[in-house]
Structure 1
Amino acid sequence: MPQVGFLSIITEFAGAVGLGARVTGTIKNGIISIDRFREAANPGVLMLGMGCAEVGSAFWLMFATGKGMPVSTTQTVVGALIGVGFATGAEIKWNWETGSVSQVAASWGIAPFIAAAFSAMIFGVLKYSVLERSDSFKWAMRLIPFYMATTGAVLALFIVIEAPSAPSLEEFGAGKAAGIIIGVFFGCLAIAYIFFVPFFERKLVKQDPRVRIWHIVYGPYLRSDKAHLFWPGKGEQYVINYYEDAHGEVRAGAKDDEKRRNSATQELHGKDTQNGNGPSTPPDSFQNGKENGGVPSDPEAAAALERRALEDPSAVAPLTRKRQSEPYERFIGPVKHLSWANPQKWWGYFKFGLLQGVTRDVITHDSDALRAIHARAKRYDVRVEHLWTYCQVVSAMMMSIAHGSNDVANAVGPWAAVYETYQTGAVATSSPTPVWFLVVAGLLLGLGFWFYGYHIMRALGNKITQMSPTRGFAIELGAAITVLLASRLALPVSTTQCLTGAALGVALMNYDLGAVNWRQLGFIFFSWVLTLPCAGLIAGLLCVMALNTPHF
């Protein structure tokens, strides 16, 4: 989580500063008409209204996020501006025109379906080219370089054509665009074959648990058994079971329970590995179709085991669930008894304040109903899933850049109007968005994820359907493509709605409606319905009270 938070600050910042100016113009000029403020020769009312829109938006977003409601920043800001429009008597642009309320609202309805279609197609190709093959790991090793290269090429293309100073695609030229795609594709393909493939062979084929991500720089040298690995891993495991962690069956740190189960199994078979009698196996090797902790490595067997456990809990040996320690237990618990004069207590509280948002357990759940939903989704080879974690990092970065280009711009749109009016003393029809606005907002959005983002990660994570790296890759890439296309068209679509639609599209690729948590989707949809009127009421009432406050 801390690594994710740090990376999100960088990518949100890049998306906001590099790609966000177009959407800001739509928010600050396209939702309500500013002619009312120009005719009244009272620019102060415009500043007041936009300020109320920002305060109302912030209040609703903080409240909804704290309740785990993944509402849309875009929808919230638009709703707040509509409320301010009613309060000030300004004309609200309901007609179908560029940047109007009708066009923006239509994009909210269309974008989730487009994202669902993109993500379903991406996962469908991945499913039938790799996951559903008889020897999926072999095919994954063959095709992963091409998937990595394709992801990198798409990311590079969108960064180039989405820059505010970039010409239109027609002006840019199909030849240049194709050249960028082909050049980046083959460059990423070469990097994948030279560095990543030897790394995957050493880690997943030879099952060397000492290999870590920084050993990628060895390249072909990793194929040699004589390669000296600097800062090697502890050798406890070479790949995790992503499905196991999702259900909280065996949490990291449950070593005592694992040892007891392993010891009982060894005694049952008359083996004493502690004294060197009998065969000794690596702690995380796959033996007899089972992984460490008694969970079958075969995905079909794992799903069957879980369904059997749900139907008859006594038929399967219980597995102790170990949740990750919460920040209060981890940072404040050990120093709570100390005096305030002790620096260790201050240090513990400081770490709690700084890291409490990125050290939460956002994976484990306690719902039997949700576990049953997850059991209906097909499980795939965890080694294949591990390969796609690297593609998922790139797709997540792409989604974060897209989020920065859209949501940060939406948030600063009203403030940009206030700043321009303050600087000039007049109501301007159009004005450039200062770059430093986007810089500050991009940093603040990253910090918002750092301290508060775990609420939404829980809501949009495993609560909709069974997640895994391959599914996450398809969801993020499909949603990112949708948002970036909308940003190019200056449409402030909702990244939240695009991600939700993309998750639904991938979930439906299970071909089982029972593999989708429709109750959670209903909760999310209900929060969307509430957002527009609630944000509008809060901002509108604030503006009405401010306008009618006694003044001199």
Structure 2
Amino acid sequence: MAVLDQYTYVFAIGTFFALLDAYNNGANDVANAWATSVSSRSVSYRQAMVLGTVFEMVGAIAVGARTADTIKNGIIPTAAFQNNAGVQMLAFTVALAAASSWVMWCTKHSAHVSSTYSLISAVAGVGVATAGAAKVQWGWNKGSGLGAIFAGLGMAPAISAGFAATIFMLIKVTVHMRKNPVPWSVFTSPFFFLIAGTICTLSIVYKGSPNLKLNAKPGWYVASVTMGTGVGVAILAAIFFVPFLWTRVIRKDASVKWYHVFMGPLLFKRPIVAEAEQARVPNYAVVQHDEETEASGSDKDSQEMASSERDEIDLEKRQIHSNQRALESHQLTHKELVAAGREKMHAKMRLKRGPLGWAMRLLHNNPMGPGQIYEKKNMVTFMKRVPAMITVGALYGVHYDIHAAQTGIAGTPDGERMTKVYAHAEKYPNEVEHAYSFVQVLTACTASFAHGANDIGNSVGPWAVIYSAWQTGNASASKQPVPIWQLAVLSATISIGLITYGYNIMAVMGNKITYHSPSRGCSMEMGAAITVLLFSQFKLPVSTSMCITGATVGVGLCNGTLKAVNWQRVGLLVFAWIMTIPIAGTLAGVLMGILLNTPHFA
């Protein structure tokens, strides 16, 4: 039973905003972390959601509690609340409300900001309103103050860029610059698995779990386990992955399936069953030919459709062709080009089988009529649209065309800008890139694990303060360990944010900054993961989104020209990061000041 029953409503509101902050974290920061893998076509958006969910939760539950303390107690000293648990609950509820509202607005408008720095700025604003500017830890404060935290705003992207550029230049010199790079990509792949495996092990061992106390192990133990695991992964790659890749890419045996990887060295002696002119590997090009039939499914699928559904799709196809002819008949303005691009994507979705296609067709064919919502016809239409609106909200992101959004719409300034950026990036053979797509899956999971371990503190830190103060009635009790169930709930909420709303950020990241491919992408992710681990080891909350953005720019510059990077997008990102500090801080400070001076909390 809670001690502060009179503040149960504050706890309820704080819980809501903690969940909203975690949702925004998934839709913003996690989506940005996985945008690299999706942009490189190493994984699809659906695969990213599954892998992101698993590794975010493992990272958050296993090692997430360590970074929560910085936000909980490092910015506002517990003594500043003078043992008033009610004021402390209110303070962190307001901080969550201000930070989550700002990030939600930015995500809706595809303006990427750091949820980490939004919350830190909001906590600082609350601290000024509650205890005065003198009580806020503005300096370094042994690595826990605002000075140490905001130092990461400049350091983290630069350090990530350096790590990522170094790794990619190693790949470029070792493989891409060879006259025949395909064999080099195959036989050097175990080395890059070694690097990725070592980083992944560092995420688990060196950061340490509070329960297992792995961080307390001696240095020789950490080094032995880390390098031993990395070498083990490299040996497994040499035994199983190299023969598989050699058979598929060099021998061009089209009969090789994924499960043949378990044959290992036996593949070297396996006769070629179906030799192809080209290796059967995916096309990793960012810009690909648009197949209109792709959205409607195969002929077999069409035969299995219900007659009514097939008629709906046939009608939709005729409408699409009619609209295309109408658009081609006159010169479009910029606004019309953007609307036409959006309609083209929605038209593809309406051709799909399953719940999303049904929902999109229902909404398209049943628009709201003239007049207000309370008109009888509009109320009937609205009730009919509600199930479809819920379905679209849950599934829209799964089917969103991330690459089309990143490359821009032909004929618009944005589309022309991205065409110029891509023209200055060297394109490497798909057979070479294929080797690094597997490495990138490992590095992406590592980055997701590191994000879960580091950024779960954003939401769980303030929520843990609110919960413990509400239960015990003692502000000092907020120093208690973060319950595992809170980590699990918020990490699940982060995953929901990635699944349902992450496409807003993915659409303006990844290929929107520079040209992506698996070899570039795995370098970006490893560089960002190393940086996150480095900062977390010193218990400094660092924005994973800033790290991956810096890594993306670093790899883009490896093309040898500044023109290979979309500096307009980079400038907008930096501007959004900087504006987050005063806006989130001011929102939280003003709201806290108003609430503190109400009769109840005065």
TM-score bracket for the superposition, by shorter chain length: 0.7 to 0.9
Match of 2:510 among 461, 481, 497: 461
Q: What aligned pairs does 1:213-362 form with structure 2 within 5 A after superposition?
A: 213-223=258-268, 238-243=280-285, 246-247=286-287, 249-251=288-290, 327=349, 330=352, 331=357, 332-335=359-362, 351-362=391-402
User: How many aligned residue pairs are there?
Assistant: 474
Q: Give 1:186's match in structure 2, choosing from 225, 231, 243.
A: 231
8 Å contact from structure 2 (residues 532, 544) kept in 1: yes
Aligned to 1:403: 451
Please give the secondary structure, in 2, of the residue aligned with 1:204: helix
Counterpart for residue 424 of structure 1:
472
Aligned counterpart for 1:207 among listed residues 228, 232, 252: 252
Shift of 1:329: 5.6
- Coordinate RMSD, CA, aligned: 2.9
Name the structure 2 match of 1:54. 96
Give, in whole Å, the separation in 2 of the partners of 1:489 and 1:147. Answer: 27
| SS class of match (1:162) | coil
**Deviation per CA, 1:501-545, whole angstroms, max 9, x where unpaired?**
111111111110111111000110111111111211222232223
Task: Give the corresponding residue for 1:478.
Answer: 527
Q: CA deviation at 1:334?
A: 4.4
- Deviation, 1:251, is 3.2
Counterpart residue number, 1:21: 65
1:137 maps onto 2:182 in alignment? yes
Query: Aligned to 1:433, which of 482, 495, 499?
Result: 482
User: Deviation of residue 149 (structure 1)?
Assistant: 2.7
Q: Does structure 2 retain, via aligned residues, the 8 Å contact 1:47–1:417?
A: yes
The verdict on how the C-alpha distance between 1:324 and 1:380 changes in structure 2, with shifts beyond 3 A counting, is farther
> Given the alignment of the two structures, is residue 118 of structure 1 paired with residue 118 of structure 2, yes or no?
no
Q: Aligned-pair distance for 1:385?
A: 0.7
1:125-183 deviation line (CA, Å, top 9, x unaligned): 111011111111111111012211331132113311212336586x5234323322343
Q: State how far apart, in whole Å, the 1-side matches of 2:498 and 2:266 are.
A: 39
SS in 1 for 2:512: coil
Deviation at residue 87 of structure 1 after TM alignment: 2.0
* Structure 1 contact 157–180 (Cα < 8 Å) conserved: no
After TM superposition, the structure 1 = structure 2 runs for residues 530-541 of structure 1, keeping only pairs within 5 Å, are 530-541=579-590
Matched, 1:449 2:449: no
The one-letter amino acid of 1:369's match is R
Over 3 Å counting, the alpha-carbon distance change for 1:95 and 1:193 in structure 2 is closer
CA contact (8 A) 1:26 1:491 kept: yes
Structure 2 CA distance for partners of 1:95 and 1:185, relative to 1, 3 Å:
closer
Q: Which of 16, 41, 51 is the equivalent residue of 1:7?
A: 51
* Worse overlay, 323-332 or 466-475: 323-332
Residue 152, structure 1, aligned to residue 197, structure 2: yes
Shift of residue 197 of structure 1? 1.8
Once residues 101 and 50 of structure 2 are traced to their aligned partners in structure 1, the CA distance between those partners, rounded to angstroms, is 25
Contact kept? 1:72, 1:528, Cα under 8 Å: yes
Are 1:251 and 1:324, in contact at CA under 8 Å, matched by a contact in 2?
no
1:333 deviates by 3.8
What is the aligned-residue identity percentage?
A: 36
Distance across 2 between alignment mates of 1:550 and 1:236? 76
Does residue 36 (structure 1) correspond to residue 80 (structure 2)? The answer is yes
TM-score (norm 1): 0.79
**2:289 partner letter:** V
Conserved? CA contact 2:187–2:242, under 8 Å: no
Separation in 1, partners of 2:252, 2:385: 42
For 2:150 and 2:546, the matched residues in 1 are separated by 12
Letter in 1 for 2:107: T
- Residue type at the aligned position of 1:101: L
Instruction: Quickly say closer, same or farther: Cα 1:395–1:537, change in 2 above 3 A.
Output: same
Q: What letter corresponds to residue 70 of structure 1 in structure 2?
A: H
User: Quick one: which amino acid aligns to residue 510 of structure 2?
Assistant: G
Q: Hey, what does 1:549 align to over in structure 2?
A: 598
| Structure 2 Cα separation of the partners of residues 368 and 328 of structure 1 | 28
Are residues 335 and 222 of structure 1, via their aligned partners in 2, closer, same or farther at CA, if it must alter by over 3 Å? farther
Shift of 1:323: 6.0
Listed as ranges, the gaps of 5+ residues in structure 1 are: 230-234, 257-321
Counterpart for residue 103 of structure 1: 148
